[in-house]
Amino acid sequence: MRVISGIRKGKQLKAVPGFNTRPTTDKVKEAIFNMIGPYFDGGMGLDLFAGSGGLGIEGLSRGLDKVIFIDQDAKAIHTVRTNLEICSFLEQAEIYKNDSIRALQILGKRELKFDVIWMDPPYKKKLLDNLLVTVQNKGLLKEDGVIVYEHDANDEIPEYVGDLHRVKQNHYGIIGISIFSYDLNKED
């Protein structure tokens, strides 16, 4: 695992110890950033279910100003911190050990708005609707922001969840990537 592009290109990242976390492969990471960027002119990201922090760190390397990392696993939190130190990004990050929905509610109280939100939950939990509805209810996504949702390639992903529209979807072996954004042309 490494940073693929940007100002920290080539930096090697640590993986979360054990078998509970499934890191996003470099191939899938590159595909994700080609779908949403590939670079940013500032802005703020949220790496929910952060694992090793690879997606958020890639976002920082590619130009985001700040990323908040959330995971409920202590080993993951430690790995995120280590990887941020390796890349000298600690000052551009916040790291929290918390449940995803509770974290979204807390971030909503802070009235934060994100340009990009990465979500890579355990595939078997089927959290898409609950997560996207919470993001909308708490106003966490900027009007022109995107949500990157990683899932099992066999999952049926709806075209709409509330006001969020699935604008892109690709499969990479057993991994599916769906990109959601607000449908600004949708009629109520």
Question: 181 versus 185: which is more confidently predicted?
Answer: 181
Residue-level pLDDT at 188: 53
Q: Please write down the HEC assignment for all residues of the chain.
A: CECCCCCCCCCECCCCCCCCCCCCCHHHHHHHHHHHCCCCCCCEEEEECCCCCHHHHHHHHCCCCEEEEEECCHHHHHHHHHHHHHCCCHHHEEEEECCHHHHHHHHHHCCCCEEEEEECCCHHHCCHHHHHHHHHHCCCEEEEEEEEEEEECCCCCCCEECCEEEEEEEEECCEEEEEEEECCCCCC
Q: Is the pLDDT of residue 21 over 80?
A: no
Output Rg (C-alpha) for the chain, integer angstroms. 15
Residue-level pLDDT at 187: 60
| 146-152 mean pLDDT | 96
* pLDDT-based confidence at residue 186 (cuts at 50, 70, 90): low
Q: Is the pLDDT of residue 116 over 70?
A: yes
Beta bridge partners of 46: 68, 117
Q: Which of 20-29, 49-58, 114-123, 130-139 has the lowest mean pLDDT?
A: 20-29
Percent of the chain topping pLDDT 90: 87
Q: Is the pLDDT of residue 11 over 90?
A: yes
- Please name which of 83, 86, 53, 54 lies closest in space to residue 70, comparing C-alpha atoms: 53
Q: Which CATH superfamily is domain 26-182 in?
A: Vaccinia Virus protein VP39 (3.40.50.150)
Q: Is the pLDDT of residue 23 over 90?
A: no
Q: Is the pLDDT of residue 104 over 80?
A: yes
Q: Is the pLDDT of residue 149 over 60?
A: yes
Q: Where are the domains of the chain?
A: 26-182
